[in-house]
Chain A
Amino acid sequence: MTWALDHLDEIFSLAGQHAWLAGLPLLIGLVISIPLGWLATRKASLRTGLLTVTGLLYTIPSLALFILLPPLLGTKVLDPVNVIIAMSIYTIALLTRTVADGLAAVDTSTRQAAVAMGYSTFGRFRAVDLPLAIPVVAAGLRVAAVSNVSIVSVASLIGISQLGYFLTDGYARSFPTEVWVGIIACLLLALVFDLVIQLLARVLTPWTRVTA
């Protein structure tokens, strides 16, 4: 406990790093997954292809990705951009299917009414399908957020500072307190992400709160 209090500054600064490395990819991944998920709902063949490929991305071990990306992108090994890109890939892997499912779950009669009213394809997507998919997409986003927070900690193995540093450092120094501080800080951070996403979804979907 005293160790944690003595190192508060460091905990907060690493937590900030961690939040950045896990959070920004969440946004990037979401922005990319939405059109991908939409494409997947357009055609059955596209759906199978896209969901298989994005699904497979998630099986690439994170350490391998952190190591492979720099030569591929021409970035430095210690550049946090590598982590951001890797985490974006994982987010896309998780979210594309969710977005596709959310869009497909829109009620048939609602969709037909929109078509009959003369919405353009994009207009309907923006005004009807996407807002109605928010609850499903938000659920997927919560999973991705937790997954990102946990995977980012691995990046300390290649020397990028974030909360994972407490795990590797604590392990190297055989100092369990530090490991525990790292674990708890990660948990709290994941919780904050989860709450923020839930709150946003709530604000964006007032119609889901009325009693049917």
Chain B
Amino acid sequence: MIRFEGVTKKYGDGSGGESIAVNDLSLEAPTGRITVLVGPSGCGKTTTLRMVNRMIDPSSGVISIDGNDTAELPLAELRRGIGYVIQHAGLFPHRTVLDNVTTVPRLLGTDKKTARRRAMELIERVGLDPDLAKRYPAQLSGGQQQRVGVARALAADPPVMLMDEPFSAVDPVVREQLQNEFLRLQSELGKTILFVTHDIDEAVKLGDQVAVLRVGGTLAQLATPAQLLADPVDDFVAGFVGRDRGYRSLQFAEAPELELTNEPTVTIGTTASSVRAIGEPWVLCVGDDGEPMGWVRAAAVTSAVARDLLQRGGTVASTQGSLRELLDAALSSPSGRGVVADADGRFVGTIRASEVVPVIEARQQSVAAREDAAAAALHGEAAPA
């Protein structure tokens, strides 16, 4: 656990005055979880992060890791026990990928062979081709460099990781890949992570909890992503969390078992007459393993169903997915019927938006009822004291 207690950082402004980068911050980043620091530019996110490994010393307050005051630990020891990943990876241009990754283990005195063997494992684990190990950073793409940065930070297996906008310098597609793999990796490794971003979507996606900072370096709200979207404490947080938060918050609502509608399906090569026999303007085409491929407009089929007739715009919800997935599948489907598949990707049925909405409304009522009950319980406890 990383714990901030009343941490303040002031900078001299060069003319005798002071500016406050981080103001009386108290915060706990629980062990094995991802805590995201998010906020507008200049709100003190990087400063907060760097105070943990003492690249910046706080003006006042205490930061402790698992109960140990960081100010009292030897610098090198503290830093070698903390993985650090930054925006442009900051790889050493003069060292190969492999030698970049072995840096901290070598500093810690691990012998070269062991360090290299472990580095190769990590290189594969972060999704890099082992052949890249011999290359220099200049020979890698931005996304690959970022993966090396993550592997390097993980190399000495530090319990704590500090990540400062690690995925913000790559294009959106690569960013999403990196985020997904980061979550997969974290589910295996369970590190205590402080993650900085200015992208609220990234914060909500990756964080077990999210700390929103405002300019001036004060903590505006600390909450789970779902709470943050459902209940921003003030206009600043609401504005920062942004539009569509009602819709986005549905991603944290697991869908209950829903009655799905059975749907007649066709395959590539089904004849026009069989398609029309179904009697629907849109029919669903599935592949050999029953996986949904796309919708076909019946009227467009002249001889048989062919690949180029498929409309692939619709998203596919999974039976274990969130309400957001279900609703999005329905809204994005040309037929209005959202495609649902099981864990193996096989088509199981469809659902309409009009069927998802009542579930959402029922959920809102049950959440309200639960909060009332929780509030009542709290008062009940408080009363006798």
Contact = CB atoms under 8 A, between A and B. Distances in A.
Interface of A: 107, 109-120, 123, 128, 131-132, 205-207, 210-212
A81 B151 CA distance: 53
A131 B90 contact: no
B92 A112 contact: no
Main secondary structure of the interface of B (DSSP, over half): mixed
15 contacts: A107-B93, A113-B91, A113-B92, A116-B55, A117-B84, A118-B80, A118-B104, A119-B76, A119-B107, A123-B107, A128-B92, A132-B94, A207-B93, A210-B138, A212-B138
B135 interface: yes
B89 A116 contact: no
Contacts of B93: 107, 110, 132, 207
A111 B90 CA distance: 8
Nearest to B155: A117
A118 B75 contact: yes
B136 A210 contact: yes
A98 to B, nearest CB: 18
A206 B135 CA distance: 11
B55 A211 contact: no
A211 B139 contact: yes
Given A109-B86, A210-B135, A210-B136, A116 B53 contact: yes
Chain B contact patch, size range: 20 to 34
B107 A117 contact: yes
Among all A-B residue pairs, the 3 with the closest Cβ atoms: A113-B90, A118-B79, A109-B90
A206 B86 CA distance: 25
Chain A CB within 10 Å, residue with most, of B77, B90, B95, B149: B90
Contacts of A205: 94
Given A109-B87, A109-B89, A132-B94, A116 B139 contact: no
Contacts of B89: 109, 113
Contacts of B76: 118-120
Interface string B70-111: 000001111110101011111111110000000110010000
A28 to B, nearest CB: 26
B68 to A, nearest CB: 16
A114 B92 contact: yes
Contacts, number: 71
B139 A212 contact: yes
Contacts of B82: 116
A112 B107 contact: no
Which residue of A118, A132, A206, A211 has the most chain B CB atoms within 10 A of its CB atom? A118
A110 to B, nearest CB: 5
B80 A117 contact: yes
Interface string B52-78: 010100000000000000000001111
A131 B94 contact: yes
Contacts of A123: 107
Contacts of B104: 117-118
Contacts of A131: 94
A132 B55 CA distance: 22
A115 B55 contact: yes
Contacts of B107: 117-119, 123
Given A117-B80, A117-B104, A110 B138 contact: no
Interface in B167-206: none
Contacts of B88: 109
Contacts of B75: 118
A105 to B, nearest CB: 12
A114 B80 CA distance: 11
A83 B31 CA distance: 66
B169 to A, nearest CB: 10
A146 to B, nearest CB: 27
Given A107-B93, A207-B138, A118 B78 contact: yes
A131 B94 CA distance: 7
B341 to A, nearest CB: 43
A128 B149 CA distance: 16
A123 B104 CA distance: 12
Given A110-B91, A112-B90, 5 more contacts: A109-B89, A116-B86, A119-B107, A132-B94, A207-B93
B122 to A, nearest CB: 15
A205 B136 CA distance: 11
A118 B103 CA distance: 10
Contacts of B87: 109
